[in-house]
Amino acid sequence: MMDCLTLIGKTVKNVTLVAALVTSVAFSANAMSADTDTDGDGMASFAELQLVYPFLTDSMFMDIDTNGDGLINDEEMAIALELGNLANPETDT
Ligand SMILES: [Ca+2]
Ligand SMILES: [Ca+2]
């Protein structure tokens, strides 16, 4: 009986964990923050990105802008954050 209750308790914990994971995935899919996208069009231009990342160079921007449309969308932003393409090379954090 105790084992059964323990199992139920674990299952509930797992469900909570999965829910938390789903939430965090959903959140990371929306990598574009309002801090970056100041005009709210859902894309980060070079100027917008440079306000948040002052060390950003043209070549860094082109690396991040994988589809070459001159704007960074959610997906490109998420990839850049994942790869550390937006990390400041001088602070090394
Ligand atoms: Ca924008
Ligand atoms: Ca792009």
In the block, tokens 């959903």 appear at 26
Per-residue pLDDT tens digits for 56-86:
999 999 999 999 999 999 999 999 999 999 8
Distance 57 CA to ligand 1 centre (A): 18
Ligand closest to CA 74: 2
pLDDT category of residue 2 using cuts at 50, 70 and 90: low
Question: Which percentage of the chain shows pLDDT scores above 70?
Answer: 72
Distance 41 CA to ligand 1 centre (A): 5
Give CA–CA dist 72/43, Å, rounded: 5
In the block, tokens 């938390």 appear at 20
Give CA–CA dist 30/88, Å, rounded: 22
Distance 70 CA to ligand 2 centre (A): 6
Domain ranges (residues) in the chain: 1-30, 31-87
Domain 31-87, what architecture?
Orthogonal Bundle (1.10)
Sort 80 into a burial class: Cβ within 10 Å, 0-12 / 13-18 / 19+: buried
What is the C-alpha end-to-end distance of the chain, expressed in Å? 50
What predicted TM-score, i.e. pTM, was given to this entire model?
Answer: 0.64
Q: Which residues contact 52 (CB under 8 A, 6 or more apart)?
A: 35, 36
Give CA–CA dist 49/78, Å, rounded: 13
Distance 75 CA to ligand 2 centre (A): 9
